[in-house]
Amino acid sequence: MDVAQREIGAEFSGIGALLPDWVPTRGRSRIRRAAAVIDAEVARVVAEHRQGDGERPDLLSRLLAARDETGARLSDEEIRDETVTLYIGGHETTSSTLVWAWYLLARSPGVREALAGELDRVLGDREPGFDDYAQLTYAQAVVKETLRLYPTIWLLTGVAKEGARIGGLPLPPGTRVWSSQWATHRDARWFPEPEEFRPERWGPDGGDGIPEYAWFPFGGGPRACLGARFAMVETVLVLAVLARRFDLDVDPGEIRPVPALTLQPDREVLATVRAR
């Protein structure tokens, strides 16, 4: 995964972005080798699941049991592809978002205090659960603001169809188009003082004044993130579980983002954990 992450990121930001897909490069052969390792591991897990008795209460079992309208099952290759997509889409993204959230919180004592205040008010001495999500509006704003400054998916790419226009100008079909969350989310037209970590900008109305697509960490359109709602709930609740009980003092040095497949910290992020 580390190799695939790094090399795919290099494809996005380096020479690979300009070369047609068929040109062989070292990076591309490293991606192929890493993909073979991931595929083999996933195939092993799938085979293990198939042998188990009865359906387990997990997503892979659901995929294995699924039938389409003609009664056909997913092929092994489809199961593998869905599983890899969910693993990458569902794991790296939320875990990196939490790392960036703690980094930002550690540097913003005022935000940390406001978050702790909300957790005390809403939860008292209970653990948070799904039903608390709607009340945890400040925690939601912390996660949204983290995804604004450190969008774990920082770049989207697509291929223009017939009739596509950008900024009013026609695009020849087949043109590759890149749009960057990183750049758009730091545009002062939509986010005054864009470098500031300020959950308050999402306000009690949840940032209704911010135009659609000024903030798009989950992409958009028909291929938008399938797990967007799940990811928000998961990230907010994990943050609430931890922040209710602990303070994480992340070491104060600057952490620079590395544009791999997801936005990664440039070094190990160490923190001192203190009970609150």
- Per-residue binding string, ligand HEM, 49-78, x by CB under 6 A, is ------------------------------
- Per-residue binding string, ligand HEM, 143-182, x by CB under 6 A, is ---------xx--x--------------------------
Q: Which residues contact 175 (CB under 8 A, 6 or more apart)?
A: 159, 160, 164
93 annotated active-site: yes
Minimum CB distance to ligand HEM smaller for 77 or for 251: 77
In the DSSP assignment, the letter for residue 112 is H
Residue type, 145: E
Q: For ligand HEM, which residue of 226, 251, 266, 274 counts as binding (CB under 6 A)?
A: 226
SS3 179: strand
Q: Are the C-beta atoms of residues 49 and 60 closer than 8 Å to each other?
A: yes
Q: How far apart are CA 193 and CA 190, in angstroms?
A: 10
- Residue 85 near ligand HEM by CB under 6 A: yes
Please, is 14 exposed, middle or buried when counting C-beta atoms within 10 Å of its C-beta (0-12, 13-18, 19+)? Answer: middle
Catalytic residue among 83, 93, 94, 97: 93
Q: Which residues contact 192 (CB under 8 A, 6 or more apart)?
A: 201
- Residue 264 near ligand HEM by CB under 6 A: no
Q: Compute the least distance from the CB of residue 26 to ligand HEM, in Å.
A: 27
Name 275's bridge partners: 246
230 annotated active-site: no
Minimum CB distance to ligand HEM smaller for 25 or for 38: 38
218 annotated active-site: yes
Catalytic residue among 12, 25, 184, 225: 225
93-106 vs 109-123: helix crossing angle, rounded to 10? 110
Minimum CB distance to ligand HEM smaller for 158 or for 194: 158
Q: For ligand HEM, which residue of 38, 43, 225, 248 counts as binding (CB under 6 A)?
A: 225
Q: Are the C-beta atoms of residues 271 and 251 closer than 8 Å to each other?
A: yes
- Residue 224 near ligand HEM by CB under 6 A: yes
Catalytic residues: 93, 218, 225
